[in-house]
Amino acid sequence: MAKMHVSTTINGEPEEFLCEPNETMLDVLRDRLNLTGSKEGCGSGDCGACSIMLNDTLVCSCLMLGAEAEGAEIKTIEGMADGLSLHPLQQKFLESAALQCGICTPGMLVAAKALLDENPDPTETEVRFWLAGNLCRCTGYDKIVRAVLDTAEEIRGKA
Amino acid sequence: MTNIQYLAPTTLDEAVSLYAAAAGSARILAGGTDLLVQLRSGMINPGIIIDIKKIKELNSIEQKADGSFVVGASVSGTQLAKHSSFGKTWPGVLEALNLIGSTQVQGRASLGGNLCNGSPAGDSIPALIAAEATVNIQGPNGSRQLAVKDVLSGPGSTNLSQDEIAVNFIFPTRQLGSGDAYLRMIPRTEMDIAVVGCGVNLTLENNICTSATVGLGAVAPVVLEVEAAAEALVGNKIEEETLERAAEACRAVCNPIDDKRGTIAYRTKVAGVLMKRAATIASQRAEGA
């Protein structure tokens, strides 16, 4: 099987990789680029643990081929913090204990950031519907939803 | 495993010749929300994957001077939701497409993929049928148009031949006083497969329904157009007596499966209920239009 050569941008940096034509973006990120923040929960687009941004659109990296990254702008959880300073969502998730085992957390954060970038003042219902594709088996969601709402309020306060 | 290839042509002609040359061993990749799951589970084992998203006709939205819309088969739910006027003209079609899966799935899922996947429960299909949308199809011997209601031939299969590609959808010019709506029943609030889905599109003149189209999903091997329900609406006010006659027509065409999501009796009953509610919303939208 001939490998494909793909040139892309990941978290603002140019990146090149070789992958199989039927390899998912999630497998490329984890197994070829050592970006293991994105998790595989289901591999079928139900759990959202592999959420990334593809050209500023939230997608599941398990439902995307690595080959489709050619010429695209990819953002992953690894690009969310600014050096050592956490993104306000990451900070709030820690402070509010909005995580337990942590498997869903990278996907939750990527998805929540996508929401706040688009809608800085979401209602609780909007947060819950937006995050419906991110499954968490530990927290019961309440702390996650509150952390997202609190972060939104905090960011609006600073703006 | 066979030697698999990924190709992303930038023109329709190129895509059509690649697809025809593969003689049935290629699969079209639009949003991939069904295809990648099928690939991974071993349900399909294509020799070539043809990514069509780099082709302009397949990935753009255009409103013509006469108000009609042309929507590319691979346009995602997110793309269509962000369009400035599509959702105002066809709210029922947009709400149907946007009901498919999560925010992440919306970033990729498309009308073309939903239709060509051929599921009797595909959410966008009843709304497309109600909208009287047609699909442009391109093959090596030229192009043709099919009404969406004539595309499905059975669960998971379509009337496209193995060398034809769905290019875009045409939504006709809207008459004044028209509205559409789509409702589906699932056992939870989000992220599930329709037990019943119903799309209604109608036009009102002085409160009388002058034309109507009804699409009904998940209650038969293919998504149905229910002409008898439309006939019950036309010529009448959208009120309980009219709606009950149209609902009876919907129940009469139901031939559903019995499964863990819904029994035959339940699906049949809900088909009538959803038709009434969708017709009511569509008529409210028509009054506001």
- The model's pTM: 0.96
Instruction: Using an 8 Å CB-CB cutoff, list chain B residues near A20.
Output: 4
Q: In chain A, which residues fall in CATH 3.10.20.30? A: 4-79
Q: CA of B46: which chain A residue's CA is closest?
A: A22
- The one-character DSSP state at B101 is S
Superfamily of domain A4-79: Beta-grasp domain (3.10.20.30)
**Contact between residue B191 and residue B94 where contact means Cβ atoms under 8 Å apart:** no
Model ipTM value: 0.96
Q: Residue B12 has what pLDDT? A: 98
The CATH architecture assigned to B5-119+134-171 reads 2-Layer Sandwich (3.30)
Among the partner-chain residues B33, B39, B101, the one whose CB lies closest to the CB of A22 is B39
For domain B178-288, say whether CATH 3.30.70.3340 is its number. Answer: no
CA B144 to each of CA A38, A152, B126, B131, B164: distance values in angstroms, whole numbers, following the listed order: 43, 50, 21, 19, 10
Model confidence pLDDT, tens digit, residues A121-138: 999 999 999 999 999 999
Q: In chain A, which residues fall in CATH 1.10.150.120? A: 88-158
Among the partner-chain residues B5, B51, B108, the one whose CB lies closest to the CB of A63 is B108
Model confidence pLDDT, tens digit, residues B141-178: 999 999 999 999 999 999 999 999 999 999 999 999 99
**Looking at chain A from residue 52 to 111, which residues have their Cβ under 8 Å from any Cβ of chain B?**
54, 57-60, 62-65, 67-68, 70, 111
CA dist B183 and A44 (Å) reads 25
Confidence of residue A40 (pLDDT cuts 50, 70, 90): very high
Residue B70 has pLDDT above 90, yes or no: yes
Superfamily of domain A88-158: [2Fe-2S]-binding domain (1.10.150.120)
Hey, are the CB atoms on A45 and B51 less than 8 Å from each other? no
**Contact between residue B224 and residue B216 where contact means Cβ atoms under 8 Å apart:** yes
Among the partner-chain residues B6, B101, B108, the one whose CB lies closest to the CB of A21 is B6
Pick from B153, B144, B166, B186: nearest CA to B270: B186
Confidence of residue B187 (pLDDT cuts 50, 70, 90): confident
Best probe of the A interface among B49, B54, B75, B103, by most A CBs < 10 A, is B103
How many beta-carbon contacts under 8 Å exist across A and B?
92
Model confidence pLDDT, tens digit, residues A48-85: 999 999 999 999 999 999 999 999 999 999 999 999 99
CB contact, 8 Å: A126 with chain B? no
Q: CA of A115: which chain B residue's CA is closest?
A: B103
Pick from A29, A30, A31, A32: nearest CA to A18: A32
CA dist A2 and B1 (Å) reads 13
Task: Report the pLDDT averaged over residues B18-25.
Answer: 95
Instruction: Using an 8 Å CB-CB cutoff, list chain B residues near A22.
Output: 4, 6, 39, 49
- The one-character DSSP state at B34 is T
Q: Residue B71 has what pLDDT? A: 98
CA dist A145 and A134 (Å) reads 11
The torsion of the CA quartet B157, B159, B163, B169, rounded to 10 degrees, works out to -100
Domains of chain B by residue range: 5-119+134-171, 178-288
Q: Residue B2 has what pLDDT? A: 55
Average pLDDT along chain A? 97
Instruction: Using an 8 Å CB-CB cutoff, list chain B residues near A57.
Output: 76, 78, 107-108
Pick from A107, A120, A1, A86: nearest CA to B104: A107
Residues in chain B whose beta carbon is closer than 8 A to a beta carbon of chain A? 1, 3-6, 8, 29, 31-33, 36-37, 39-40, 49, 51, 53, 76, 78, 101-105, 107-108, 189-191
Could you write out the three-class secondary structure of A23-44?
Answer: CEHHHHHHHHCCCCCCCCCCCC
Q: At what angle do helices A142-158 and A105-118 cross, to 10 degrees?
A: 40
The count of other CB atoms within 10 Å of the CB of residue B48 is 20
Q: CA of A3: which chain B residue's CA is closest?
A: B5
In chain A, what is the straight-line distance between the N-terminal and C-terminal CA atoms, in Å? 52
Q: Residue B216 has what pLDDT? A: 98
CA dist A10 and A7 (Å) reads 10
Task: Report the pLDDT averaged over residues B22-32.
Answer: 96
Q: Residue A77 has what pLDDT? A: 98
The Cβ-side half-sphere exposure at B284, using a 13 Å CA radius, reads: 8
Structure token digits, residue B113:
């993929």
**Contact between residue B240 and residue B280 where contact means Cβ atoms under 8 Å apart:** no
Sheet holding B69-72, edge to edge: B61-63, B69-72, B165-171, B134-139, B142-147
Q: CA of A49: which chain B residue's CA is closest?
A: B104
Structure token digits, residue B236:
């009448």
The torsion of the CA quartet B201, B167, B150, B258, rounded to 10 degrees, works out to -80
CB contact, 8 Å: A24 with chain B? yes
CA A145 to each of CA A139, A149, A155, B182: distance values in angstroms, whole numbers, following the listed order: 10, 6, 15, 29
CA dist A54 and B105 (Å) reads 12
